Amino acid sequence: MLKKFLKYVIFAVIVAILLPVVFKKSTKVEETVSNQVVELTEPFNYGDYTTIKLLHTADQSVETLNLDEYLLGVISAEMPASYETEALKAQAVVARTYTIYKIKHGSKHENASICDSPLCCQAWISKENRMARWADDKREEYWNKIVTAVDSTKGKVILYQNEPINAFFHSNSGGKTESPEYVWGGNLPYLVSVETSGEEAYTSYQSEVKLSKDELIAKMFQKYSDFNIDFNAKDAILIKEYTSADRVKTIKIGNKEISGVEARSILGLKSAKFTVEIVGDEITFKVIGYGHGVGLSQSGSDSLAKQGKNYIEIIKHYYKDVEISE
């Protein structure tokens, strides 16, 4: 009898240990196989992402919002409401996908899903603040357009091989989007360089930055303490190589050879697609496009919408071999 009782006790202990492991739900499971960590991700389930925690960077407070309620603030902040409704719909699906991807692959924030800073996640603005910035006679029209864009695409997510994509977007591609390898390194199969017509009609298409020689030296010196430049040399500033999207891949500035992306950051340019001209004490950077250039172009989306494209066609123009969830 004692042996039988001990068998039952041992069995009960084993079950108590194993049950939590067997039935624990997790979006990420790690298994060690031959000293290698293998990550197993559960299939995408939209229902897991209908509520988000938004970090307000101004005061570090966290607000819980319904996903689509949150998207109203994103579209309000990220895209002009004067744009075509189909462009706004495309932005709504892109922003929804971007949000879910960020959460699914691990938030940068300890107590929040995503933040309201475009430098980290996506821009976001409250309805009250957004309405206050619109002209009185446009407030209702613009807000209704944004609500329509979000509501009419409810639940729509961009998928590649049944998984949400990393849906990068930017303001204006300057006529051709960029491959991510030239911006962050590495490639994603659905993010390839594509052309967009009509972007030159937008104010975000072209800009100019003028710097004195001393200002350029100061900006470069902030990043490189050993920076020096001889402006009398023919190659004082020389663009050495371009990407396939006609952005600056490599540029020599004085004794430093850096990427166009880094030059954009250091010099405060809106895009890495630029030319350089030195006249007297002044250096002029003529810039085409606005943003990193990867993924959906917002002004390009509006241009395509004006050409009669619907939001699904716009999305599939910028992201290759993707599907839109039903």
Per domain, the residue ranges of the chain are 46-167+295-324, 201-288
The least confident of 2-16, 52-66, 93-107, 246-260 is 2-16
The lowest-confidence range among 7-11, 93-97, 177-181, 223-227 is 7-11
Q: What percentage of residues in the chain have a pLDDT greater than 90?
A: 82
- For residue 268, what pLDDT is reported? 97
pLDDT at 47: 86
Q: What is the mean pLDDT of the chain?
A: 88
Q: In which order are the strands placed within the sheet that holds 256-259?
A: 237-242, 248-253, 256-259
Mean per-residue pLDDT, 3-14: 42
Would the pTM of this model clear 0.75, i.e. be above it?
yes
In the block, which residue shows the tokens 């109203």? 72
Q: Please tell me the predicted confidence (pLDDT) of residue 107.
A: 82
Q: Give the model's pLDDT for residue 44.
A: 77
Cβ-based neighbours of 64, under 8 Å, separated by 6 or more: 51, 52, 53, 54
- Of the ranges 7-11, 56-60, 204-208, 216-220, which one carries the lowest mean pLDDT score? 7-11
